Amino acid sequence: KIAAVFQQRLTDIANDTEAALDRLLGPDSRTGERARPAHLMEAMRYSTLGGGKRFRPFLVVESAALFDVPRERAILVGAALECIHCYSLVHDDLPAMDNDDLRRGRPTAHKKFDEATAILSGDGLLTLAFDILSRPEVHPDAAVRIELVSSLAINAGLGGMVGGQMLDLAAEGRFGDGKPQPLKQNEIETLQAMKTGALLRYACIAGAMLGSADKTQRAALERYGAVLGEAFQIADDLLDVEGDAATVGKAIGKDAGMQKGTLVSLLGLDGAKQRLAARVTEAEESLAPFGERGEVLKAAARFVAERKA
Ligand code: GRG
């Protein structure tokens, strides 16, 4: 039953996030229509609207709901975070990075438009995120807005997602002598906590910030976000390996996409699955201070481990 409640909330929050993004990526009375190049706006809309699970906005809204935060505030923060997430996907797909042709079942931004437009649309989305968070509709208290802005900057930047991406490229051997650098387990954990974990953790603590959570509640959500982030990445790496094995029909680990530098490659399939299950349990336990109200977020942790796409 709780799984059905979770699915419904995920769908509702995805719809509300989509509507908010549609409005935020539309005409803006502050700059006027002429000041917004239509081609750039089209590219930003293409990469943001009509796709994605909207799992990060879900985490913001559900964490905020623990404190009865007005929903429209949390939706705005979720939309800002989704702008950062979508920009990272656009830039990650570029020829200089992963050089991917498809994203969310459609041509990537640089394939649909061109490289310069894709780069600028990512820049525009990154900037828009901070524009959104600084608006009074997000929270009447400017100190809360500054905290939301500052924490997002830290989690998305050098010490978070962007830094994690850099470590990833370095491990692939993109710099120096060009040889891949095998990473130790703690180095993989750090890289992933930065690249993927930081935004997921932010989603959860943003709810606590919006809701003026006390120290214990905030620490609980921080812990939940951190272990959920790790679970998300292990599940994603498992999907890569098992999805590849299923479609290509090859032996797992030998020929199917066993990516180097993941916990799956280091711990093996069974080891990674055990660790994933342990992280889900830990995520559930971290929500103890919220009692019954934590049930939907607990279901979200189980969803992360079980998802097929
Ligand atoms: C280029 C600055 C920069 C950062 C790139 C997020 C990222 C960092 C790269 C994307 C590549 C990747 C597979 C990262 C792991 C995180 C991940 C699984 C992202 C996909 O997130 P989902 O599953 O995607 O939430 P949807 O499409 O549902 O939004």
pLDDT digits (tens, 9 = 90+) for 75-123: 999 999 999 999 999 999 999 999 999 999 999 999 999 999 999 999 9
Highest mean pLDDT among 159-163, 242-246, 264-268: 159-163
Residue percentage of the chain with pLDDT more than 90: 84
Between 31 and 297, the more confident residue is 297
Helix boundaries (H) for 134-184: 142-156, 161-171
Within 8 A by CB and 6+ apart from 290, the residues are: 66, 217, 220, 297
Which ligand 1 atom minimizes the distance to the CA of 103? 27
Instruction: Provide the pLDDT for residue 279.
Output: 97
Which ligand 1 atom minimizes the distance to the CA of 56? 25
Amino acid at 106: R
Residue 5 alpha carbon to ligand 1 centre in Å: 26
Amino acid at 116: A
> Across the chain, what does the average pLDDT equal?
93
CATH number (domain holding residue 270): 1.10.600.10
Which ligand 1 atom minimizes the distance to the CA of 54? 29
In Å, what is the CA distance from 137 to each residue of 24, 81, 133?
13, 16, 9
* Domain that residue 33 falls in: 2-306
Residue 89 alpha carbon to ligand 1 centre in Å: 6
Q: Rounded distance, CA 62 to CA 250, Å?
A: 40
Between 81 and 253, the more confident residue is 81
Instruction: Provide the pLDDT for residue 307.
Output: 85
Instruction: Identify the band that residue 176 occupies on the pLDDT scale cut at 50, 70 and 90.
Output: confident
Residue 103 alpha carbon to ligand 1 centre in Å: 10
Residue of the CA atom closest to atom 6 of ligand 1: 88
Residue 119 alpha carbon to ligand 1 centre in Å: 16
Instruction: Provide the pLDDT for residue 309.
Output: 74
Residue of the CA atom closest to atom 29 of ligand 1: 52
Instruction: Provide the pLDDT for residue 156.
Output: 98
In the block, tokens 């700059």 appear at 31
Minimum mean pLDDT range among 13-22, 23-32, 228-237, 258-267: 258-267
pLDDT at 260 over 80: no
| Total of domains in the chain | 1
**Widest CA span in the chain:** 57
Instruction: Provide the pLDDT for residue 255.
Output: 46
Mutate to test the pocket of ligand 1, among 60, 165, 240 (most ligand atoms within 8 A of CB): 165
Minimum mean pLDDT range among 4-8, 28-32, 163-167, 304-308: 28-32
Instruction: Provide the pLDDT for residue 111.
Output: 98
Residue of the CA atom closest to atom 18 of ligand 1: 236
* Structure tokens belonging to residue 230: 């790790």
Residues with CB under 6 A from ligand 1: 52-53, 55, 85, 88-89, 91-92, 97, 104, 161-162, 165, 195-196, 236
In the block, tokens 């989603």 appear at 203
Instruction: Provide the pLDDT for residue 243.
Output: 74
Instruction: Provide the pLDDT for residue 237.
Output: 93
Between 248 and 262, the more confident residue is 262
pLDDT at 251 over 90: no
Residue of the CA atom closest to atom 19 of ligand 1: 196
Q: What pLDDT, in 10s, does the model give residues 139-158? A: 999 999 999 999 999 999 99
Residue 235 alpha carbon to ligand 1 centre in Å: 13
Residue 222 alpha carbon to ligand 1 centre in Å: 20
Q: What is the mean pLDDT of residues 275-288?
A: 98
Q: What pLDDT, in 10s, does the model give residues 214-228? A: 999 999 999 999 999
Helix boundaries (H) for the chain: 2-24, 38-48, 55-65, 71-93, 109-112, 115-133, 142-156, 161-171, 185-192, 198-210, 215-248, 263-286, 295-306
Residue 157 alpha carbon to ligand 1 centre in Å: 15
